[in-house]
Amino acid sequence: MAVYLDHAATSPMPDEVLAAYTDALRLVGNPSSIHGAGQAAREALETGREAVARALGADPVEVVLTSGGTESINLAVKGMFWVATASDRRRTRVIAPLGEHHATLDAVEWLARHEGARVDWVELDGEGRIRLDALAAALATDPDEVAFVTALWANNEVGTVQPVAELVALAHAYGVPVHLDAVAAFGQVPVDLHAVGADAVSVSAHKVGGPVGVGALALARTATVEPLLHGGDQQRGRSGTQDAAGAVAFGVAAARAVAELPLARVEALRDRLVAGVLAAVDGAVLRGAPCGPGRLPGNAHFTFAGADGDALLYLLDASGISVSTGSACQAGVPELSHVLLAMGLSEAEARGALRITLGHDSTDADVDAFLAALPAAVAGARAAASAGA
C-alpha cells in the first residue's frame, strides 16, 4: 500500500479541484482580449482571484497571481527592496531570520551580491521560533536604513508557527514594511493579510491541493513592488498573460482548504503519530514547537540519533511510504538542514532528520503503516551508519 506523508512538499489535488481545473482548461480566450471569448476567460480569472482573496483576508485588487511560491517570494523580496532603495538610497538593509526557506535566502543573498544589500540575520530559538528580542535590536539599529523585514509565517521544515503579529507590529513601529512567506502556513492555520497587517504575503496553490505552477502575492493596497517581469502591466507588479484555469483551480482549492480549518482531524492524527514514534524508537526527538497551537497541525519533524535521514527516507520509500528529510526544494542535495543548525543542533544531530507531513486525505491507516515500518527503517539506517563509520 502506498502511503503519502509528504504534504508539505506538495498536496494531492482533490476531485473537486481537478474537475474545476479541467473544465476551465477548455476555455479559449486571453483574459486581456475584449471579445466574448476573452471576457469569458476574464470572468473565470477574476472569480478565481476573488476566491483566493477571500481565503487570504485580502481584497481582489490586492492579489497578484504568479507562477508559484518562489516567484511570489522573489517578487516581494526583490520588488520591495528596489522600491525602498529608489525612495531612499540609504535603505539597503534587509532583516531576515536564519531559518527561512531557500526561496527567501537565495533571493536575499542575490540582493547582497548584485544590489548592494546588507543583510541582518535574526537568530532562532531552540524550537525554530524567531527571536523577537534579536529582531527588535536589529530594527532599533539605524531603522532608516532598513528596506524591509521578511519572515516565514510558519517554518516549512519543523512546523513552528511564528509570532507574525508581534513581528509586524515591531517592524511597523519603525515604519519598516514586512513580507511574510505563508507558503507552508496557508491551509494549515488562518492566514489573513488584513488581520496581521503585513505589507505582502506569499502563498502557493499546490500546497493546498491546487495545481503546480500557480501562486499569489497578496500585496496590501498601501504597498508597492518593482516588477520582476515587464511587458503588459496586466497586474500590479507583474506582466504576462494571466492563467485563468490556474486561477480557477487555485480559488477552489483555497476556499476548500480554508473551509476545513481548524484541522482537528489532521492534528489528532499527527499527535498519534508523534506519540507512536516517541514510544517505538529510542533516540527519537521531536523538533520544533511542541504539539499544540504553536505548531502546524500536519507537521511532525524528528531527528533519530545514530541514523542518517537520507537512509531513513530510502528505506521507508522501499516500504511504500513517502516522507522527506526537509524542504523538497533541496531534494537530491546532500546538505544538512540550515534550519536545524540555526536552532542549535549539532551536525551529527541534524544528519538524522525526517519530516512527516499529513494532509486532507491522510488516514489512520497511513499513520499505522508508518509506525509499523519505522522501527525497522531506523534499525537499518543505524546499522548502515555504524558500518560506514
Q: Could you read off the pLDDT of 104-126 as tens digits, one per residue?
A: 999 999 999 999 999 999 999 99
Q: Stretch 215-244: mean pLDDT, rounded?
A: 96
Residue the block writes with cell 477548455: 26
Per-residue pLDDT tens for 298-320? 999 999 999 999 999 999 999 99
Block residue for cell numbers 531527528: 303
Strand partners, 301: 355
| pTM of the predicted structure, to 2 decimals | 0.96
Side-chain half-sphere exposure of 181, counting CA atoms within 13 A: 27
Q: How many CB atoms lie within 10 A of CB 322?
A: 16
* Model confidence at 193: pLDDT above 70: yes
Q: Is the pLDDT of residue 388 over 80?
A: no
Q: Is the pLDDT of residue 332 over 70?
A: no
Q: Which CATH number fits domain 15-259: 3.30.110.30, 3.30.70.1230, 3.40.50.1460, 3.40.640.10?
A: 3.40.640.10
Active-site positions read 329
Pick the closest to residue 240 from 231, 228, 249 (CA basis).
231
Q: Do domains 3-11+263-388 and 15-259 have the same CATH topology?
A: no
What pLDDT shows up at residue 387?
85
Q: What is the mean pLDDT of residues 138-162?
A: 98
Q: Which three cell numbers stand for residue 69?
A: 511560491
| pLDDT (0 to 100) of residue 80 | 98
What sign does the CA torsion over 231, 232, 237, 243 have? negative
Domain boundaries, the chain: 3-11+263-388, 15-259
What percent of the chain lies above the pLDDT cut of 70?
Answer: 98
What's the chain's average pLDDT? 96
Give the residue from 208, 219, 140, 239 showing the smallest Cα distance to 179: 219
Query: Phi then psi for 161, rounded to 5 degrees?
Result: -80, 130
Q: How far apart are CA 182 and CA 204, in angstroms?
A: 8
- Residue reference for cell 503503516: 369
The tens digit of pLDDT for each residue in 41-100 reads: 999 999 999 999 999 999 999 999 999 999 999 999 999 999 999 999 999 999 999 999
Whether the Cβ atoms of residue 300 and residue 6 lie closer than 8 Å to each other = no
Q: Is 287 in contact with 158 (CB distance < 8 Å)?
A: yes
Average pLDDT over residues 278-307: 98
Residues 6+ away with beta carbon under 8 Å from 140: 174
Beta bridge partners of 355: 301, 324
Whether 346 shows a pLDDT value over 90: the answer reads: yes
Q: In the CATH hierarchy, which fold is given to the domain comprising 3-11+263-388?
A: Aspartate Aminotransferase, domain 1 (3.90.1150)
Is residue 328's pLDDT more than 80? Answer: no
Say what percent of the chain tops pLDDT 90.
Answer: 96
- 214, 68 contact by CB (below 8 A): yes
